[in-house]
Structures are given as C-alpha cells and as structure tokens.
Structure 1
C-alpha cells in the first residue's frame, strides 16, 4: 500500500512538472545553505499540507541551493537521506485537520528511535503563493485565487495559476528528533509533541509573513469616530447641543476619511513590480542590512513601528518595498498631506499610506482623530511607519525628532499594553539623492516647491541619470515596555491620559531613537570620499593621498567599529573612486607629477550631504586628531580631559552613542586603535606622538583632524566668545547669537566652503540651549544670561582646537562689537545730557 501511494505521488509529480515553468520561487533566508547548517544526517522536510506542487517547488529549490533532495518515500537508507512529510492532508475542497499525528510521522519517529546512530533533523518549510492576507469581506474571486491555508487541491490549482510568479518558500532552522525523544519516552507522545510544535510554527510564520487581514475602510472610519478620544472631544466642544454634536461628528468622519489608508493587495503587488523595475533603472542595487533585527521581532508577534531617517521622497517607497521583499507585511506609512495629489495620492493610499496634515495646532478634534486611528492600527496588529524628523533633511545630518507621533505611540501603549510594541530605527542612505540640488537652493533661501502632478512629470528626466546604490539598515529595536520599565517604573499605575512624566519620556525616547539610527549607519562610498576631500585645503588632494586616507579610515572602522550594526559597503578604494567618477561627484586633474582629485564649489556643497550622513562615525577620532595639530606629544590623561570638555556638545548635535561618563574609556580605546593603524605613534605606555611630518600617516591624521569641517570651530567660537564675555558676568542672548552667527559667516568665507549649512542659526541655538541645560549659562531674565566660571576652563581647552586664523578672527569681532557697544553707550549718555 505504501508503495502504491508513493507511485501515485510520483505520477502526479511528472504530470505537474510543466506547471513549474510558470512558477517563480524566492527562498528565504537568502543565504539558505549557510543558515540551515544541516549536519549530514537524515533530513525530514515538513510542508503544512499535502500538495504535490509544493513538493515539486521544494525539490527544485533544494537542487538550486545544493540541499539534500527530498523523496516521497517513507524510509531512510543509505541512498535516501531526505524525505518530504505533509503535516495535513487535503481533499478537493479544503484541508483536513487531524489531532493525531499521521502514520508517516509516527513511522519516521520510530525509525529515528531505532537507528540510534542517526541524528535526523526536521526542517519546517512554509510555502506562500502571493502575500495577500485577505480581507474581512467575503469574495468568490478571493476565495478562488488567494492563498488560502485551507485550500484543497482544486482551489490550489487556481491559486498557482494566479500567483505562480510570486511564490515564496520560507525555510525554518532545523531541530533534531532525538532531542524530543530524550524528553518523551513514549514514541506516540513524541510524535504528538512534534506535530504540535510544527502547527504552532506554521501558524506563527503565516502571521509573520502575511500579517493581519486588510480592514474595510468605512468600518474603520466608523470605529475611529466612535473611539474614546474622539467622543470626548466631540462632547467637550458640543457642550450638549445636539446640532453642534452632529456637525462635529460629520467633521470627524471627514477627517478620518481624509486620513485613513485603503490598502489593497493588488496595488501593493503593482507597486512591487513597478518599483522593482524602477530601482533597477535608477540604482545598481538596493542593499538592505541587519534585516534579522526586524524579522526576529515579527516572529515574536511584536507590533512593529518603523521610524526611518528622511532623505528623499523615495524613502516612502524604499522602506515599504524593502520590508515587503524581506518577507514581512507592508506597513501603513504616515505621509504628509502634500503628497495627496492626483493621481499619486490615490495610489499611495491604496499602497498603505495615510495622510497627515503638517500642523494640528488649534484643531483638537483633528488631533483626536489621528490619535484614535493610530491606536486602532497599533492594537489590531498593523505595522506602522512614520518619519520622526518631520521632513526631509536638507543637510544630510539627522534632524531633531518631532515628538508628536512618538507621543501618540506611547499614549496608545499606555491605553492598551497587551500587545508588545517595538520601535525599529531605520537608517536610509543613497550614493546620490535625487533632490539634493533642490536642497542646496532651499538652504540658500529659495522657497520649497509644492508637490504636484507637474513635478511628477518632470521627474521623468531623473530616470535618465545614474544614482549608484540605495542603502537601508535596520537599527537596534527599542522595546517600549522595557524602555518604560527601565526609566519610568510606575508607568502602569498612570491613571490620566497624559501623566506628568509623559513629555520627559517621549523626549528621552526620541533621543534614544536618534542614537540608534546613527548606530545603524551605512558607510557609503561617496560619503567616505567626501569626508576626505571636504577636510582638505581647497577641497583638493593628490589621488594617492586620498586613497591612503580612505584606506586608513576603513582599517580604523574595522579595528574599532562604531557599533556592530554599522556596515561598510565597499573596502576597495579603487572601486570607490571609480564610482565617484561615474556619479560625477568629483573632478580629476591629470598631471605628470600625479593626478589631483578636487571638488568645485557646487560639487563640494553637494557631497557634504553624503559626508554628513556618516560624519558621526569619525567624530571621536577626528577630535583626538585635532589636538595633535599643535602638539607633537600628548599624554593619555590630558587627551581624555580635553576630549571630555567638548564631547557633551558633540554628543548633542551628532547624537553619539556614548554617555558622558563613558567618554574616558571611549577616548582611550580610539587612541589605541589609531595607534594600531599608524595614525598615532605610542612612545610610552600612556604617551602618544603624531607621525613624522610628510609621512603617509601624518597626512591621513591631518586630514582626519579637519574631518568635521567647521563643526569644532562653530562650537569653540561659542565657548571662546563666552569666555570673553565672562569678564562682564552677563551676556545678552540676542546679541550673543548674532555675534556667533557673524563669526561663523567669517569662518565660512575664510575657509572657502560654499555651504549654507555652516551659518545655520539653529545649530548655534541648539548649542546655547545645551549650555543652559548644563548650567553653564543661567537665565537672569528674558534676555540676559549669567556665565558660569566653568566656561573659562572649557574655553581654554577649546582654544587648542582652533586655527590661528580663527583665533584672530574672534579677537577682531569681539573688539569690533565692544567698540560698537561703547559708541552706542556714549551716544546714549550724550542724549541724556542734551548734547
């Protein structure tokens, strides 16, 4: 009988082989053979239901990846080392579930028990035909063509015809039958336990890959309007007047309709196909790294909130596309209402975008609708994605995060903490950003153009250019419950919707997300080259010196990585150079004495964007190198103290990962690593010397010392000017800000660096706010600030980092300002005396 069944299956296999010509299969994980780590013993592949086409797809995939090829036989022997087992059988209409294990599973477990020398491994394999999770609305079309887990062989035929080009095969890590037998003496109990493990596994994988069923939009709109927060706001504004209450309900429904997504699988699938071709047209590839950081959470049934950096309009599409291609459900993505224009808005809404107005100010009802909709998504298991920076970064630096939507996520969790929530920072980077030229004009004062169908049509020209690669890296997830338990232990007892500690918690959460974003940085080739060229005098370097610098930075990163999640894209400096030429990011001057690589004014401003993406990775080495500009030799203790003075400022702007009490050990480790790669010479156990002048290591160290551009100078200007003012004890905040701004302008002119970012007042304001928090500036009234005595010590160390030109400029502007103040004071006295 067993042989007859096997012959029947083999006959079906031969009859169905032509169908495989239609099927296109993608296996997960990508590095399949390395991930499975099969021991060489017997292998039992388990499929969730009896399906010959699933078996044929499995067989073909095993051949492709060099895995043991499964047979449909029931016994292991010397020639047959792998078999395929179906967990459930099917009829023509649906799958038949049984509580007891099949006789095939029992037979295999007994065989493994009898053959004590054999360690058989079970490999669960989950096939997916399409990724449509289905909807709550019944449909005959969907019943026939969607991948129904209970589908019989007749329905399966139609599913394969409809979804054959979108087949996924998910392999799980193997486990040994012998381990189950050691804990279960009875074979029947062991077989039941294995069956139970497999059923739970298949259910979990299906939920992970497909996610929740797509909701019916009108039902969700009604649910949002009837939600607790919306009803409270309507009752508060309605003041018991029925007509006004009804008007507010209509308005709330309109807000919900304007806001909510209407995700459909067909549009998601269209986006997958179109974007796949678009990425191939625009980029030479899309690299997604650290994917395991998010797939692990999905398998553990976490509600995932993706929080990506924002570099380009392509970010919306890139995040969703990469998540989908990684085998996870497509998230609902918050998009600005400016993107809701015809026809793009219609497509984005059906791909999962929900549109939010730029400002909620003064419209509490709208804010309640948005928060209630977010709460619905979070509690019903729909992944979410939003850009916490609020807008695209025009400088390439990470912007301070907006806390509005983060606050909604935290408050939703406080309302219902049954489902665990994980925030996943995502770092996005490009070899070339499509909008980077418009960013430069906007930084120069130009008005941002409104998104429209005309801009979309003009974007066709962009398809004719080459943009290198796009990079997406998942950072270390933040488990919201763990974050609250660590920092706000009494959060479970909070009765009110907005407890007093909420603002502080959201602020701390935003800083933690920013740090984790930077910890997931991708060192893209153009950014690395920009670090070197922008640090050079006149933005030009001999080709060999540029190559030496990049190689030293690559070696330093490998010797002491900023974080395990940081990824280096390419370590071949010649390839990096050729890519930069292909992207037209640099210029090359051929000379008999050696080629020179340089940047013109426009290219220098553009490449600074990509440099800024990764500059935080080199902040501490650059700070250390800066102290060796003046001093040949520095002892370790002096170096640590000097770095610690300015680290708090660097940490605030660049969102560096270490706390201030960790900086001593960090500086020591980096100094040792720099000595290990030749950037410093260690002349005694705790004494460092810079390399000999004109040596390759000296050149690399000198470039590294300038790697942060004018960042150091901008900070030091603030400290030195404050020290000058400290003789008076008080400083006018507006006047001081203006002085810092004028000084930054002067340095920008002297350095020849045409970049509006340098004189951006927000960076100076941010630094002044930090000094206030640290108690170095104490507000006296609305305008006056008292200067703490510690500022003089900070300024003394800071002056060691300044160039002589910068010091002379500070002296001049300080004298000029005080001369103007004296003249104004004298003029005022003359008016008082009537002269």
Structure 2
C-alpha cells in the first residue's frame, strides 16, 4: 500500500518546505533524537514528509528509533482520521506524549527534539459566509476519501511548515513535577496548529458586496455622506453614489486562484532574470504571525518590481500575502484588475479637498485591520530615484495608529523590509527624470516595454528587518497614549508619528543587503577617475568586508554568501574576488588590460547610473568614512577631539542617512571602527604613556590610498553641507524658502566643474532635509536667523574637510550669485 501511495504521491504532489533549510534556520541538532509532531495521522502526510526530510537531510519519520532499549516511532499525531460517516475527530496516541516525557525522567543525557510539522494541502482561506464548493476538501481530520480528493486537486499546492523544536529534556526539567504535563503539551500542540493555519492561510476573505454594504452603513461613512451632501449641495443619494464609487475604486478583490497563478508566473520570471532571490530573517515574521500579530510590511521602494517580489516572497515563505496599498496610477487596464485580485487596494496621492474620499479610505483601512489581514504599504510614497531612502510620508502610519485604536485587542507589528537588487530596470529612466525629463505615466504599453529589458539582473534580496511592535513603541514615546482618547488629536502626535517614520526608515537601512554591484560601485565611485587596478579594487572590497564583519552595523544587515564566517583577510580576498566576478558579469564596468594586469573602470555614461546602487549601502560606511576623513584632515587628532567633531557633524548625517545610533552609541560604534582601521593598518595610533585616552591618530602614509578611498565616500555629502553653510554665511541674509533652490544651483555648477555625477548631489529634497536638520539642531531659528557662533564653527569644520579646488569653486560660485543678485 505504501509503495502505491508513494508512487502516486511522487507524480501528484509537489511540496515546498518552510523554512527552506530547517536544520540551519531552526537550529536542529542531528546528534539528538528528533520526533515530528503532526496534527492528523495520515499515511500520505507521512510519506510526503518522508520525501521532504530525505531531501533536507533530516531523519526519516517512518524509521523507528531506540532509546534506552525502548523502540518508538519518530512521529506523534494528535488526531486519527475521522471515520467514514462521522464528523468527530478521534484522538490518536493519547499516551505518546507521556511516553516521550517519561524517557527523560532520571536520564539527563536524553534530549528529544519535538519538531511540530504542519502540512497544508492548499492555502485558500475561503470566503466569509460561503460554504466551500467541494466540502470534501475542507475536512480538518480527513478520512481516506477526503485525502484522496485533496491530493488529486491540491497535491501541487502542498506546503510543509517546520517549526522551532521543543526540548523535552528542558520541558521535563522545568515542569516534570506536573502530573498533567502530557495533557498540557497536547493542548499546546492543538493551539500551535490552529495558529499555524491562521498564519499561513490568513482570515477568511470578505464577500465584496457585503463588505461594501457594511462600510457604507457604518457611522463614519454615513456622517461623511451627510456632510458631503450639505457642503456640495447634492442629494444624499448622489453623495452615497460618490462614496460607493470611491469604495469601488479603493477596495481590493483578493482572489486565491489569482495569487497561485501569479506565484507560478512570478517564479518563472525570477528564475529567468535573477540568479537567485536571497531572503533573510523571515522566521521572525512567521513567528509574529503565529502569535496573532497584525503584520504590516513597510518596504523601501526602488522599483516596480518591489510589490511583485515582496508579495511573491511572503507567499513562498508560508505566510499570508498582504493587502497592498498601491498608487491609483497603477489602476489601468489590464494591470489594475490583476493587481486588485492579487490583493492591491488603490490610494490617491492626496486626500486634500475631499473629506468624503478620506473617510471612505480610513473606514476601509480600519476594516482590513479589524479582520486581521496583513497589509503592505510604502512609507516613502513613491520610488526613490537616487537609491537612498526618502523621508517617510506619515499619512498611512497615522491611519494605522487610528485603526489600531479601533481594534486595540490585536497587536500590530510593523516590519521594515529592505529590498535590494543587483540591477534595477528603471535606473536609466530615473536618471533622465532627475535631469528634468517629465515622468512617464504608467500604462499597459509601458509594462510591455519593460518585458524587452528582461535579462541578467544578478540577484535579488529581501531582508526583513527588526519588527516595531506598535504598542511598545507608543509606550516608550508617548506613555499616556491609552488615556488620551483619540491619539491623533493629542499635541504630541506630530512628534510621535515623525519619530515612528524615522524608526521605520532606520529599520529598513538596518536590514540592508550588501551585494556585488553596490559594493564594487561604492569603491570605484570614490576614486577620482572612477578607475582602479584590479588589485586595488579587490584589496578595498576585501577590507570593507572585514570591516562589516568585525564591526557589524546591525544584526539584520546581510553579507554576501559565505562572508558571515570569514574572519580573516585571506577569506575576505576570496570573497572579494567572487563579488567582483559577479559584478563584472552584469556588464556595468569596463576592463582594460596592459602588461601589468587588469584595470577596471566606470564609463562616463554609467557613473550616474551606478550611484543608485552605491546609495543602497552608503549608510553602512558613512561613520567610518567620516572618521577617516577627520583623521586625514586633522593630523594627530586625539580621541577627545575626534569625538567633539563627530558630535558636530554626526546628527546631520544621521538624519540624512537614517543612521541608528544616538550620540553615546555612535561613539561606541566609532571607537570600534577606529580600532579596526588601526588593525587594517590604514590609521596609525600613537599612544601617550601617561594617558592612554590621549592617543593620537594619523593616516598611515604607506596605505594612504586605501584610507583616502574610504574617506572619499562621505566627501560629496560634506561638499553639499558646505554649500548650504556658505550661503548662510553670505553678506546678504537668504530667505529659508529659497535656500534649497540657491544651494542646488551652486551644487549643479560644482558637479559640472568637478565631474560629480551623483543625482542626489543636486537633489533639492536632500538639501531640504539638511536645512530642516539645521533648524532642529538650533543652528537656525524659526524666523530664519542663524546662530553665528555655532554655525560658523560647523562651517569651519566642513571647510577643513574639503580640498582647495572644491572650496575655490564653491566660494567663487557663491560670489557670482551674490554679485548678480546685487546688480
């Protein structure tokens, strides 16, 4: 019988295991006994699990094991299949948990790992109030007829979810005196499987017509309809018709068959254009979903691929695909209906002047939260054209907090997500837009044109960041929020929501993916002619890998495959060579050969394109680059002097690049960077015998090139700062409203003369962030008056960090501006 079942399963069943590597991800110890816990005893489930375990290198669940002379099975099941004409599940092995626990009594050497395994045959959640079209597929403890039809119709949609193992030795040690321990363990297992089902399938989907009627009848929308009728001079029926139109425009029409079909299509595309999709830290999100948290995914936005890739990865990782807030610009035929059935709901760019639309949207968002659906939206609003994170737009975050207050019993977890690519197909378009070309409106023809660009895109990266538990965040930032009623009306809310936005963007940067093209671009763009010998490039890349490994930026940053375990320079050199080979395969660099070896360079027409990729990871090196620049320009600088100057500049860079450390943490991290740079030999440390804290530092003249390349990473940022500070120091007081525009003009001239091609260098939005930070740091007051002493000191510091050629260009350009304005 098992032979025949195995034969049919091999032809009818296609399984995906989550996580993909249970041994590594769940820290399974193969030297200890493993017992698999399943919900229902089923030979087809066991054979499917057996095949998966064989592929994963895990113990065979059908091979018994012997412990202390007692032979036991490698699996336990909570239920037996239902009898043919019965609806009541039957207990399987009531004494099996007790048997496993008894093995550990008096023998501390035995430690059985109990691994819960959930098998899903299809993941359609169904619809509220609808009976399944084929109820035989819906049995919770299926008999053989149920299972036969399930395999026939859903065998190609099988998911096997391995969960974190339970140490029975530890359980026995902590609770072995409880005579009801086995029963409690069994109850815990039932709860676990119920939560696994909810996490993988999600709540049932709404009937769209019933949802529409319920929302239109809600008090919030009804009041908005009445108000719109009065203000616009239209009838209630006409106002309700408008509200209905808005709701139809907004609401998703989630379809599981569309999700499955989309997953197959997207998987084919990923295999076609990417060498692999690397996913990190998904287990943390799965555990939160299992604990009944409302999950809100907050990814960065660098490409139209983002929402497709993230939804695909979430589904592939065994979680419920989210409802996605998409710009209404994507609601065009035929993409709009497809996206809508894939979970997208559409949102206009602004709600201003349309309170009825705002009320309808907020009511719909609250409805999604109340039902427990996971959500996804892009806090930047639109795609970043420069590769850097944009400041958070806090509107959706504010509505999330409003929705949370209406459903306070369900905890909300915000998940920052960093999406990284070796190649983004829109980069060339971004450069044209930054140079003044009008943004193209999305259309079906534009989508078709993208398919022509499908090719070698290297790797894609999806890194889930550290979750932000919204209740805990509010407890820290606004402790009295529970007693304040409507939190959005409190005077502290503006500060709270802005801090939440910064925390989200910082969390995204904390989960950055270090991959081939960004790292090689970072090194080459820091060289004056964007050209290095192959040996120089490999040396610099390997040193940066060592720096990232020895002084971690955060626990969520992902290093290239294999680099996490490379603790020495030799290993880093090998990793650098692999990275360079990968980057070269993308055809972004030129290779010249002479009698001394290879020379690698960036062509002039590629330099601006490659700044996009560099900017994905520039924040990881901002602090060590700034420290190296200070040591370079202040020869013999002491620790106290270094700390004082960092304290001046760091808050400004922190705001621009969403760096994670406060002043105290920054100095601890900075000292670790400094020590590592000393170990690399780039910086020399001269100790003071009488006072170890008075050691002085200077660039090692024998390795000055490596140190200068690191310092140059932050050079363009300091140049932008100095432009703004110089304008503020000019004889004529400049209006703050025009400061960013005038700074942009100077930056454009500086870029033309010195060949600076970075698009963010003359991006008015980036300059505006710096100006706002000057106000927050009290260099400028609300009236636009400067603090001459502190601003002058900061101006002199940035001046010291720049070359004479750059300083002359800035000063000469500003003088010309001043003369033209005077005339």
Q: Same fold (TM over 0.5)?
A: yes
What do the CA deviations read for 1:509-550 (whole angstroms, capped 9, x no partner)?
Answer: 101111111111111211111111111112111221111111
Distance 1:100 1:763, change over 3 A: closer
Are 2:483 and 1:493 equivalent residues in the alignment?
yes
Per-residue deviation at 1:674? Answer: 1.4
Say whether the 8 Å CA contact 1:679–1:701 is kept in structure 2: yes
Cross-structure match for 1:651: 654
**Equivalent residue runs for 1:209-608 within 5 Å:** 209-239=200-230, 244-463=235-454, 465-496=455-486, 498-500=488-490, 501-570=492-561, 571=563, 572-608=575-611
Cross-structure match for 2:566: none
Counterparts of 2:735 and 2:19 in 1: how far apart (Å)? 61
Further displaced range: 465-474 or 571-580: 571-580
2:713 aligned to 704, 707, 727, which one? Answer: 707
Give secondary structure in 1 for the equivalent of 2:597.
coil
Counterparts of 1:79 and 1:609 in 2: how far apart (Å)? 63
Counterparts of 1:716 and 1:508 in 2: how far apart (Å)? 27
Per-residue deviation at 1:100? Answer: 9.8
Cross-structure match for 2:806: 806
Cross-structure match for 1:6: none
Per-residue deviation at 1:302? Answer: 0.4
Distance 1:579 1:116, change over 3 A: closer
Further displaced range: 24-33 or 298-307: 24-33
Per-residue deviation at 1:691? Answer: 4.2
**Equivalent residue runs for 1:770-789 within 5 Å:** 770-780=773-783, 785-789=785-789
Based on CA coordinates, which of the two structures has the bigger radius of gyration?
Answer: 1
Further displaced range: 806-815 or 731-740: 731-740
Q: Which runs of 5+ in 1 are unaligned?
A: 1-11, 825-835
Superposition TM-score, scaled by structure 2 size? 0.92
What do the CA deviations read for 1:296-341 (whole angstroms, capped 9, x no partner)?
Answer: 2112110000000001101011111111111111101111111111
Say whether the 8 Å CA contact 2:115–2:162 is kept in structure 1: yes
Further displaced range: 262-271 or 191-200: 191-200
Are 2:19 and 1:29 equivalent residues in the alignment?
yes
Are 2:133 and 1:141 equivalent residues in the alignment?
yes
Counterparts of 1:311 and 1:468 in 2: how far apart (Å)? 16
What do the CA deviations read for 1:637-677 (whole angstroms, capped 9, x no partner)?
Answer: 11121222111111111111112354333332221221122
Cross-structure match for 1:96: 88
Cross-structure match for 1:16: 5
Distance 1:299 1:820, change over 3 A: same
What do the CA deviations read for 1:236-271 (whole angstroms, capped 9, x no partner)?
Answer: 233499972222222111111111111111111001
Further displaced range: 564-573 or 796-805: 564-573
Further displaced range: 529-538 or 228-237: 228-237
Counterparts of 2:774 and 2:171 in 1: how far apart (Å)? 61
Cross-structure match for 1:123: 115
What do the CA deviations read for 1:222-249 (whole angstroms, capped 9, x no partner)?
Answer: 2222233212212323349997222222
Give secondary structure in 1 for the equivalent of 2:633.
coil
Give secondary structure in 2 for the equivalent of 1:169.
strand
Say whether the 8 Å CA contact 2:6–2:47 is kept in structure 1: yes
Counterparts of 1:701 and 1:361 in 2: how far apart (Å)? 51
Cross-structure match for 1:795: 795
Further displaced range: 402-411 or 734-743: 734-743
Cross-structure match for 2:571: none
Counterparts of 1:135 and 1:81 in 2: how far apart (Å)? 42
1:753 aligned to 736, 752, 756, which one? Answer: 756
Give secondary structure in 2 for the equivalent of 1:262.
coil
Distance 1:154 1:75, change over 3 A: farther
What do the CA deviations read for 1:140-199 (whole angstroms, capped 9, x no partner)?
Answer: 534244x54243321111111112122122223333555555677799733322221211
What do the CA deviations read for 1:322-380 (whole angstroms, capped 9, x no partner)?
Answer: 11111111101111111111221121111111111222121111111111111111121
Give secondary structure in 2 for the equivalent of 1:86.
strand
What do the CA deviations read for 1:402-434 (whole angstroms, capped 9, x no partner)?
Answer: 111111001111222110001000001100001
2:723 aligned to 717, 728, 732, which one? Answer: 717
Counterparts of 2:475 and 2:814 in 1: how far apart (Å)? 50
Cross-structure match for 2:743: 740
What RMSD, in angstroms, separates the aligned Cα atoms of the two structures? 2.6
Give secondary structure in 2 for the equivalent of 1:753.
coil
Superposition TM-score, scaled by structure 1 size? 0.91
Cross-structure match for 2:695: 687
Counterparts of 2:45 and 2:586 in 1: how far apart (Å)? 45
Say whether the 8 Å CA contact 1:93–1:153 is kept in structure 2: no
Counterparts of 2:798 and 2:175 in 1: how far apart (Å)? 69
Counterparts of 1:81 and 1:542 in 2: how far apart (Å)? 63
Counterparts of 2:469 and 2:652 in 1: how far apart (Å)? 28
Counterparts of 1:96 and 1:414 in 2: how far apart (Å)? 40
Distance 1:43 1:812, change over 3 A: closer
Q: Which runs of 5+ in 2 are unaligned?
A: 564-574
What do the CA deviations read for 1:726-775 (whole angstroms, capped 9, x no partner)?
Answer: xx7x4433564454233212220222123443222222222222212222
Per-residue deviation at 1:386? Answer: 0.5
Equivalences, count: 802
Say whether the 8 Å CA contact 1:42–1:82 is kept in structure 2: no
Say whether the 8 Å CA contact 1:136–1:215 is kept in structure 2: yes
Distance 1:122 1:447, change over 3 A: same
Further displaced range: 70-79 or 295-304: 70-79
Counterparts of 2:31 and 2:759 in 1: how far apart (Å)? 62
Counterparts of 2:792 and 2:210 in 1: how far apart (Å)? 64
Per-residue deviation at 1:585? Answer: 1.1
Cross-structure match for 1:7: none
Distance 1:364 1:497, change over 3 A: farther
Cross-structure match for 2:667: 664
Counterparts of 1:112 and 1:663 in 2: how far apart (Å)? 48
